[in-house]
Amino acid sequence: MRPLNRAPRLVSEDHIERWHLCQMEILDCKKVPWPKPLITKVHKVDNCGWPKQEAAYECKINLMTGKTHQIRAQLAAIGAPIVGDSAYMTGVIAAMANPSINPYGRASLNYNNEEEKAAAVEAWVACHGKEPKSVIGLQASEISWDYEGEHHYYKAGVPWWRQDAVESDLV
């Protein structure tokens, strides 16, 4: 992942000197219904014009490295952005329409020089949105670590996209 400290973070499948190594493993992935309209309204979820709103995927991920935006950037890079993530979802939509637009993607173009590539990177970044102003479909379901000989473990509650909403939630 490019070490520039601003979103969107760019990722590459190829090793690039001085970029951060980002590794995660997807332990489980299941198809779930797209969040109901009332739920997305209650939580002010931005669908960013995502064309496929029938289903989403809920994945259990083990982070092997922990870089800021790692999960968001890596999932977007494979065409599976997080629901409501306006910083990355719009870039995925742009890449669906024009696969060669991502200068580090599988269908990237060959550039004649570094200036051309830098211009392509700036164009790619411009395809992305701003940081979300509401919730996104990302939640740590559980976290554990060992510290000073003690094991610590925390488990989260039900994520927003699986909660039931009622009209009174809108008031």
pLDDT band of 166, cuts 50, 70, 90: low
For the stretch 6-59, pLDDT in tens is 888 889 988 999 999 999 999 999 999 999 888 888 889 988 889 888 999 999
Render pLDDT for 21-30 as a digit per residue (tens, 0 to 9): 999 999 999 9
CA distances from 28 to 15, 16, 23, 61, 85 (A): 26, 29, 16, 7, 21
pTM of the model: 0.84
What are the tokens at 13?
Answer: 């499948």
**How many Å apart are CA 4 and CA 122, to the nearest integer?**
12
pLDDT digits (tens, 9 = 90+) for 60-84: 999 899 888 999 999 999 999 999 9
Domain residue spans of the chain: 24-136
